Structure 1
Amino acid sequence: MSERTYLDHNATSPIRPEARAALLEALDATGNGSSVHGEGRSARAMIEAARARVAALVGADPRGVVFTSCGTEADTLALTPDFRRGEEPLSFDVLLVSAVEHAAVLRGHRFPADRVEVLPVDARGRVRLDLYDAALQRHAEAGHRMLVSVMLANNETGVIQPIAEIARRAHAHGALVHSDAVQVAGRMKVSIADLGVDLVSVSAHKLGGAPGGGALIMADPDLRPAPVFAGGGQERGLRAGSENVPAIAAFGAAAERAAACAEADAARIGDLRERLEDALRCEFPELVLLVGDVDRLPNTSCLALPGVAAETAVIALDLAGVAVSAGSACSSGKVQASHVLGAMGVPERIARAAFRLSFGWSSGEEDVDRALGAFRRVLPGLLRRRAAA
């Protein structure tokens, strides 16, 4: 098979040419960004140039950007009971998270388990604002200081949360708000001010950078979470360890390019997704399109062929030359049904059959054509086997 179609951009996107060039340039350079000699100053200049570009991706102050190794680490850094604002200590009693968060939030936070409350979602995967209000009121009356974490868009379904409204309601009770924006930053226009959140997490490899780069971005540069890694004074003392200059430089280049074409790419990619979904619905009415009637990422489709295990569909499509995924890439190898779809109340028979297609910056019309060809070759056989089972 000479050509393959990659439809798993929510797991990782191919590196952009601009990011590859920046990565190679940084690899060819020598110097630690904390050293004061010329080589060290050159490395520092690369880091700070990338910091400005990543900040611009979400309209933030560069001083609020802390580089990490990935989005997961950025989430862990953000979700701590202990902060400072300038010299003033801030401590949080409870963490409120949505039921459809990535494992990086659900399991990566630094709160004791008995100080975490999971917020229910509706059948479309959006936070139940009525129950959210009740939780905020209950904790406020108990004198609890709250940290809220709700992702901007879900990695499995693409569903976009009403983050600005979630943040507004939280701030009315004095809460701090974090959002995992890993799937959105660089794919749609994002403004930390418009979202109204205090912290956002972003990841390099989701938008065409190199693996090994992520960032936590604070709307207020004076806000400082307790570090995960203590030691040296790198990243304003918030992330000890010598910076990964090549990954950071590539991150900056990818962020700049992604920001420049985010709106145009979102429209183009949305058209590709709609073309594929329309054809599949027409030719294979047995396919279920989950959350097709709600605001979601323009690149993401969550489909299910009830009665056919997701792993079976993923392997069959892979053998036909199309890369798709089931659930989160961070949960690969696990066969249980998605916790996201479970929280939405999706019947287990459908949840266990669900798989995800996700387009990206490098996707084109030919990917839709090859994907449709693969579905036409694969699905009739899967349906026959289902009927015979």
Structure 2
Amino acid sequence: MDLQWSEADLAFRDEVRAFLDDKLTPELRAAGELATSVYSDHEASLEWQRILHERGWAAPAWPVEHGGCDWSQTQHYIFSRESILAGAPALSPMGIRMVAYAIIAFGTPAQKEFFLPRILTGEVFFCQGYSEPEAGSDLASLTMAAVDDGDDLVCTGSKIWTTHATEANWIFCLVRTSKQAKKQQGITFVLIDMNTPGIEVRPLVMTSGEEVQNQVFFDSVRVPKSNVLGQIDDGWSVAKYLLVFERGGGAVAPALQVMAESIAKEAAEQTGPDGRSLIENAAFSAKLAEARIRTEVLEILEYRTLALIKAGKNPGPASSMLKVLGTELSQKLTELALEAAGPRGRAYQPHATKPGGPLAEFVPPTDGYVTGADWQAVAPLRYFNDRAGSIYAGSNEIQRNILAKAALGL
């Protein structure tokens, strides 16, 4: 594995940097740098998607015929890395980075023609309808029913932890169309217009005070069979394909490196009663050093995965491994950031941040006053939001089971 970028790679990196320097306004950078979770401010995210779409870079990993870029895997990694380092707001992954791949792989020509261009522009904005109150990591236990009725499926049930359901105008859902001996069978993958009669969205207030997650109720919602992706009763095949894109493929290490560098800088500026900075505290500095080393290891693992893909090989269970390492390291860093924030990090000051959704029952001070620096206001919200990192996209316990079987043969 060659860890050095080629001259062509460096030229591409410089092109990306120039684009980011030119197009990332202070407001867009703030939306990225002051984000409280993996989801950026909704309006800023859509604006950044519009700018990227104008350049043809909104969905670079898509096939070229559908609007993607003819980039190498190295170029994809460089683009992702440089965007993170520049503080660009994240795009919502549900459409561009998730269901779009399922539509490309399993969709009919009519489905591709309708959805793909509109996902690129943001006209179609998806949320994900997978988890249910009794079906989370054991997703195949889902019970939301879809009854065959001529040209339609009539859907009744509910989905929970549905990110951005209040903003989305479409949802992709797994529904139960038949009961068979094996629970993975009899599941169908459907695309549902959120404006269809019978759909109700109820926001869930998270520990951070944000209303990013929701519960969605379906009461005899009629869905045309033309909105089924793949085959009826074979939606599990579509879901498994899509999960590969949900669990891996991006550059995670650079974001964690930026976070670690920020913590080191902030800890150096915080002084205790003895006049010494927090970074001079042996216990804290040792924890931070360990985390920074782990970010470097994670980056090497991402490079190794990139090299395998570039060589045309299947990275195997690498997506599960990177998901476990990345989310748990992110949780460790948010703990250190909260420790560095000190007493000022205990105050609830979301008005100094750029949250990914509405704030429940919060009235900001009229003068905009913030106790401490903005990063100290961001720290507790990131800490609370990051607790979910080891649960979503398949809990880390599930990922370890996958690794035990695929890598260790247990």
TM-score by length of 2: 0.28
Q: Relative to total residues, which structure has the larger helix share, 1 or 2?
A: 2
TM-score by length of structure 1 reads 0.29
